[in-house]
Amino acid sequence: MPNSYPEPSLPSRFFTKEEIESYYRDGVVCARGLLDTETVHHLREALEDTLKKVSVLGKNALNRESKGFHGDIFVWKLHDVFRDLALFSSLPALAHQILETETVNFFYEQFFVKRAGCPVDTPWHQDIPFWPVRGSQIVSFWITLDPVTRESSGLEFVAGSQDWDQRYKAVTPGHDAYLMDTELPVSPNYAEHRDTHNVVGWDMEPGDVIVFGPVVCHGSAANASNIHDRRALAFRYCGPDVQYSPQHATMPLLWDHGLEPGDPLGGPLFPQVWPHVIEEEVARRMDGPEPPSEKQVGAFIKHLADTGFGPTGQK
Ligand SMILES: O=C(O)CCC(=O)C(=O)O
């Protein structure tokens, strides 16, 4: 149904046949030049602005500020540059092309900032064990705002691991104890197994985007560059087979979403973005920033305390 909000933009180019084939064969592909210079510039400014205000999740679970590592999630709820990229940029059309589903919903976005010389690596992992959802129609777009090489913490993948049955523990760069509280094994560091596994990664320029699925195993080294920051964002989209499925030791949702277990993702936290947004889902956010629900934040802090996880996420 038509509404008064913008339609998603069309990309300056769609994925090529070869890129789509690589994505389905390897679980990942690097698509060059998907975002223009102006978009990258706005994202840099927005990210630096966001970093001045540490969120409750950053403070309690994600950041290792003393080491130059900053992370956060659902920043689109607070910052309009992230909101507009999530809802109205060319990413929804690209997600539609890769997922081949009639509708696409925005799942969430996340940033990973490793300042020059940051010694924090991103342990090898799959994304799906982190998430309170089940389903397969999920795609992530990893966007770098700085030139990046393996040495400056370029993301690397085990090509083909999207077909593995094995699942690994959700290990964050800060080794958050709550997310690791499962029976799953810790992933090997595949950077040390290049002789036996097809480990792939790319030197990238701002505007290049890595496209990958929810199961492919990936990780990145510390930022060994003493000059370049490594600022990356991941925007994630999903199709209709993805359902809300909350479990212990999965990513907390600090915004009210109105979903029951088994519901397909939708509503104000996971709005439809393709073929267009739905007024009831986004109207509140279009009116202004939406801070997390005080009730959900309180429940999250209490849950960490009750289960023996302290305010830093460490037991
Ligand atoms: O940027 C990184 O180091 C990690 C990114 C990542 O794991 C992800 O986007 O799923």
What's the CA-to-centroid distance between 88 and ligand 1, angstroms? 23
The ligand 1 atom at the shortest distance from the C-alpha of residue 142 is 9
User: What is the rounded average pLDDT of the residues 128-135?
Assistant: 97
How far is residue 298's CA from residue 242's CA, in Å, rounded to a whole number?
A: 27
What's the CA gap between 240 and 101, in Å, rounded?
8
Question: For position 314, what pLDDT does the model report?
Answer: 54
Q: Residue 290 and residue 5: Cα distance in Å, rounded?
A: 18
Band (208; pLDDT cuts 50, 70, 90): very high
Q: How far is CA 219 from its chain centroid?
A: 13
185-to-136, 167, 182, 297 alpha-carbon distances in Å? 21, 8, 8, 29
- Percent helix / strand / coil, the chain, rounded to 5: 30, 20, 50
Q: Select the more confidently predicted residue: 170 or 3.
A: 170
Q: Is the CB of 39 under 6 A from ligand 1?
A: no
Higher pLDDT, 141 or 59: 141
Query: What mean pLDDT value characterizes the chain?
Result: 93
Confidence of residue 61 (pLDDT cuts 50, 70, 90): low
**Is 271 within 8 Å of 277 (Cβ atoms)?**
yes
Q: What is the Cα–Cα distance from 199 to 163, expressed in whole angstroms?
A: 15
Is the CB of 221 inside a 6 Å radius of any atom of ligand 1?
A: no
Instruction: Please give the average per-residue pLDDT across 53-67, as a whole number.
Output: 72
| 238 CA distance to ligand 1 middle (Å) | 17
Q: Ligand 1: which residue has its CA nearest to atom 9?
A: 234
218 pocket-lining for ligand 1 (C-beta < 6 Å): yes
108: pLDDT strictly greater than 70? yes
171 lines ligand 1 (CB under 6 A): no
Regarding the beta carbon of 122 and ligand 1, being less than 6 Å apart is answered yes
Give the bridge partners for 73, in sequence order: 110
Pocket test for ligand 1, best of 112, 144, 187 (most atoms within 8 A of CB): 112
Pocket test for ligand 1, best of 142, 156, 158, 229 (most atoms within 8 A of CB): 142
- Which CATH number does 17-306 carry? 2.60.120.620
Q: Ligand 1 in contact with 222 (CB < 6 A)? A: no
Mean pLDDT for 16-43 is: 97
Distance (Å) of CA 58 to CA 45, 46, 147? 19, 16, 25
pLDDT at 134 over 90: yes
Residue 142 has pLDDT above 80, yes or no: yes
Let me know: does 24 contact 216? Beta carbons within 8 Å: no
Q: Which residues of 214-229 are buried (b: 16+ CB within 10 A; e: fewer)?
A: bbbbbbbbbbbbeebb
**How sure is the predictor about 110, in pLDDT bands with cuts at 50, 70 and 90?**
very high
What's the N-to-C CA distance of the chain in angstroms? 49
Indicate whether residue 126 lines ligand 1 (CB < 6 A). Answer: no
Residues in the chain: 315
For 297, the 3-state DSSP assignment is helix
CA neighbor of 307 nearest in space, from 243, 261, 252: 252
Place 55 in a pLDDT band, splitting at 50, 70 and 90: confident
- The domain ranges of the chain are 17-306
pTM to 2 decimal places: 0.96
- Point out the ligand 1 atom lying closest to the alpha carbon of residue 112: 1
105's CB contacts (< 8 A; 6+ apart) are 237, 238, 239, 240, 242, 265, 266, 270, 271, 272, 273
pLDDT of residue 226: 94
Residue 82 has pLDDT above 60, yes or no: yes
Render pLDDT for 259-315 as a digit per residue (tens, 0 to 9): 999 999 999 999 999 999 999 999 999 999 999 999 988 988 888 787 777 555 555
| Tokens 């009730």 belong to residue | 295
201-227 mean pLDDT: 97
Q: Any idea which residue has 């990210």 for tokens?
A: 47
How does 104-118 read in b/e, with b if 16+ C-beta sit within 10 Å? bbbbbbbbbbbbeeb
Q: What is the mean pLDDT of residues 187-204?
A: 98
